[in-house]
Amino acid sequence: MNIDMSQFQDTFLQEATENLEELEQGLLALESGDSADMDSIFRAAHSIKGGAGTFGFMPISDFTHTVESVLQMARDGDLEMTEDLVTALLASCDLISEMIALAKSGGDTAEVQTKDCLATLQKYENSEIPPSSDSNIESSVDTSPFDDGGAGLFLDDEWLVTFKPKPHLPLTGSDPINILRELKTLGIAKTIIHTEAVPTIDKIYPEELYFWWEINLTTDANQSEIQDIFMFVEDDADITVEKIEPKPQAQVKAAPKAKEEQKEEPVATLMDERREGEDRRKKTERRQAAAAPEQQYIRVAIDKVDNLINLVGELVTTNAMVDQHASKEEHNEDNQQQLVTALQEMSMHTRNLQESIMAIRMMPVDFAFSRFPRMVRDTANKLGKKVNLVTDGGNTELDKTVIEKISDPLTHLVRNSVDHGIESPEERAAAGKPEEGTVTLSAFYKGGSVMITITDDGKGLDKDKIIAKAIENGVITSAEGMSDTDIFNMIFASGFSTAEVVTDVSGRGVGMDVVRKNIQSLGGSVFIKSEPGQGSVFSISLPLTLAIVDAMATKVGDDIYMVPLLSIVESIRPTEDMIRKMQGSVEVLDVRGEFLPLLRLGEAMKAPETKYEGDATQAIAVIVESENEKLALVVDDLLGERQVVIKSIEKNYQSVEGISGATILGDGSVALIIDLPGVIKLSKREGRFCTITEENPPQDVTQTKTSAVTEDIS
């Protein structure tokens, strides 16, 4: 029976990526003085090494073995975890990550250049603490290895290891021979193979295993390290590790030398076998077709799966009820009522099933946050700054797709805070601040959305500098009448940068414009607050999922538009005295003393005709909030709340400004989903909309107009 190992390799590579993240986070925590479990750090490296060896990724296994050895010395107290050592270990993490990425794409992991990093790690590995000068191993063995005079003597222990795999072990993808080979790297191993369970040839199943092994192991490793060799097969084998009492002195005396003579051969043989196996894989890879697309995985809590299974069972039962009532020959009133009840139950179960399926895609934003401690450390060191990164709300959940797509925008914003926001230690000290700046990355729920904020306690945004640069670049001609929000938003303009010097970190004016575009492509928005000398806050609002949205169905003429429910504050029927005109065709709506820009959706979407034909008092004003500002959206009618599946227009047609997608209604017709930021931008450009602020109230604008307009306002 041929076993497809690729399925197990994919699983290992996914787990290796997670172990590598744990290793990196642990190293950063150690360096910053936070509590970190050295055993967990070591185990993460050991898991990568062991799994790589088991599944044939020998370059990963060999390189990680050196990393593991250095971590072992640090765990035992033989090496101090200095900043330089952490830097070397983090560099090794980068190389392991590169090899894992190559393995995922079917590339050759041996192509990664590890020589320089390996040489650095081996310097640490060879810097063992020497034994005390007054101890002499040779004389200690000759006298009495067990009395006080032998305090400087470190004799290896003997262990009896039994490894009894269950017959199905090969089906799990584990190779017991590779496990035994790795065990030999710990010391001298004398192995006895037991074959008494092998049946006659007519009863042998090729996919089952009938051997078990007994190993006498002489090693300086402890019991936990020996058991770690078997961590991937603990559930599929019976394993015991028992210490053997020391032998009499006469037999121990020659043991150290004998060990050295015997130990080299198994290790050399193992390395030769690894190289041969690697060569065979290279030849095989050359004969194979192009690598298959990388499989993506998601970890799901078992209770979510159980809930999903239960709901499917409920749906199957309800479906049977519907079929039963629908197939009856006589459709009397009682039968029709039972059918309606069954259909209502099916609708409820379908909604619950849909929500449960969506819950499976939900992941904590910590998956996105986990990359930033390392990035902040490296960027701060490069800029000569001291920066502490604080994360909060990592358990807040978002759709997996949203998390993947928001990672790059977050990277730009966090780097921007470190580079442009946080001052140098000297500048902070002169301003009476601590030399170490703080960048805080937070996530929390707000209504049905998720808010992610990036806050720094730096110098804040310089409005005058932004305005001067914007005028220089031709973004604006004057900042008169512009609010702080409008001024700050200019940093998102393409090619905009206030950096005086171009570095490899920033200054080229790329990144921030991409940030806003990517966030808006997710149906989100970003806005800025900043105080001079106090710092800045970048706030990102994101939908929980990109697949389904709760929306209000609105009618404009013969068309139906879906307005995201989370953006709606209220809906009202305007009266004539609530509508006030401004310059040109711009209007505002007075809602309980609050002036809101009024936008006629039919005009914005160029609908052929509307029911109210320009008379907003015959229509409905939907008060919505978008990008931290309110406005009144005028529509013909409200058709009720709907939960709709979003279909991309761009994939099937082209991008349409003001439209984020489409959905198919129950009658088969198509409704467009409104992108409020896009509609506002379009209307501003066409002169049908203006933002009402304290600096730009409706009264101030109209005082310079004709008396007729003034009378209209009064």
Which residue is catalytic, options 31, 46, 158, 518? 46
Is the confidence at residue 6, as pLDDT, over 80?
Answer: no
Higher pLDDT: 408 or 281? It is 408
Q: For all residues of the chain together, what is the average pLDDT?
A: 77
Q: What is the pLDDT of residue 343?
A: 86
Is-contact 542 449, C-beta < 8 A?
yes
Q: What pLDDT digit, counting tens, does each position of 160-176 carry?
A: 999 999 888 877 767 78
Which residue is catalytic, options 31, 68, 278, 587? 68
Helix axes 400-416 and 372-383, enclosed angle (nearest 10): 20
**125 assigned to active site:** no
The 10 Å CB-count burial string (b at 16+, else e) for 558-579 is ebbbbbbebbbeebeebeeebb
Specify the CATH number for 548-713; select among 3.30.360.10, 3.10.310.10, 2.30.30.40, 3.40.50.720: 2.30.30.40
Neighbours of 493 (CB within 10 A): 19
Q: Which fold is adopted by the domain 364-543?
A: Heat Shock Protein 90 (3.30.565)
Is-contact 550 605, C-beta < 8 A?
no
Least confident of 84-93, 388-397, 627-636: 627-636
Q: What is the pLDDT of residue 390?
A: 92
Instruction: Please report, rounded to a whole number, the percentage of residues in the chain having pLDDT higher than 90.
Output: 14
**416 assigned to active site:** yes
Class of domain 6-125: mainly alpha
Question: pLDDT band for position 271 (50/70/90)?
Answer: very low
Got the DSSP string for 103-121?
HHTT--GGGS--HHHHHHH
User: What is the rounded average pLDDT of the residues 39-64?
Assistant: 85
Which residue is catalytic, options 22, 24, 182, 416? 416
Specify the CATH number for 153-276; select among 3.30.70.1110, 1.25.40.10, 3.40.50.300, 3.40.50.970: 3.30.70.1110
Least confident of 138-152, 240-254, 271-285, 495-509: 138-152
Higher pLDDT: 293 or 398? It is 398
Q: What is the pLDDT of residue 418?
A: 93
> Do the bridges between strand 594-600 and strand 629-635 make them parallel or antiparallel, or are there none, so unpaired?
parallel
Alpha helices in 512-589 (DSSP H): 512-521
Higher pLDDT: 588 or 705? It is 588
Question: pLDDT band for position 267 (50/70/90)?
Answer: very low
| E strands in 393-482 | 397-399, 436-446, 449-456
Instruction: Please report, rounded to a whole number, the percentage of residues in the chain having pLDDT higher than 70.
Output: 78
Most confident of 320-324, 540-544, 551-555: 551-555
Q: What pLDDT digit, counting tens, does each position of 613-622 carry?
A: 667 888 899 9
Does an H or E element contain 291, and which? none
**68 assigned to active site:** yes
**Token match 């290279």: residue?**
282
Q: What pLDDT digit, counting tens, does each position of 277-335 carry?
A: 454 344 434 333 344 445 566 677 788 888 888 888 888 888 888 888 777 766 677 77
